[in-house]
Amino acid sequence: MKHELWTEGENSQTFCLSGPRGDSARGLLGPGAKLAWTCEASSYFEAMTKYYEYMGWGEYISGFPEQDKKTYKELGWQ
């Protein structure tokens, strides 16, 4: 699934799913928000790993690895 990183101003950002599953998150963005980056990932864990790498934050460590490593397909998200 495609994920999007949106930025607002200097310090605010939102990382969410693209398409209808991310509508509620994007709905909180102000009119000046800009799409900064996108990536494809098959799970939440993969998406966060790529996001952390992009941001230069080091290794992403999940508090819920059993859940976060399930693919979106396993969760019934097509």
Residues 18 and 15: their CA atoms lie apart, in Å, by 9
Q: Is residue 57, in this structure, part of any structural domain at all?
A: yes
Q: Is residue 29, in this structure, part of any structural domain at all?
A: yes
Model pLDDT, residue 10: 86
Q: What separation in angstroms does the CA of 68 have from each of 11, 19, 46, 60, 64?
A: 26, 20, 8, 11, 6
User: Per the structure block, which two tokens stand in for 38?
Assistant: 């996108």
Where in the sequence is the domain holding 8, given as residue range(s)?
2-68
**10-residue averages of pLDDT along the chain (78 residues):** 95 96 96 97 98 97 96 92
pLDDT digits (tens, 9 = 90+) for 27-47: 999 999 999 999 999 999 999
What's the structural domain count of the chain? Answer: 1
Q: Is residue 27, in this structure, part of any structural domain at all?
A: yes
pTM for the full predicted model? 0.92
Q: Is residue 32, in this structure, part of any structural domain at all?
A: yes
Residues 42 and 71: their CA atoms lie apart, in Å, by 5
Q: Is residue 43, in this structure, part of any structural domain at all?
A: yes
Residue 56 Cα to chain centre, angstroms = 15
Q: Is residue 76, in this structure, part of any structural domain at all?
A: no
Q: Is residue 75, in this structure, part of any structural domain at all?
A: no
Q: Is residue 17, in this structure, part of any structural domain at all?
A: yes
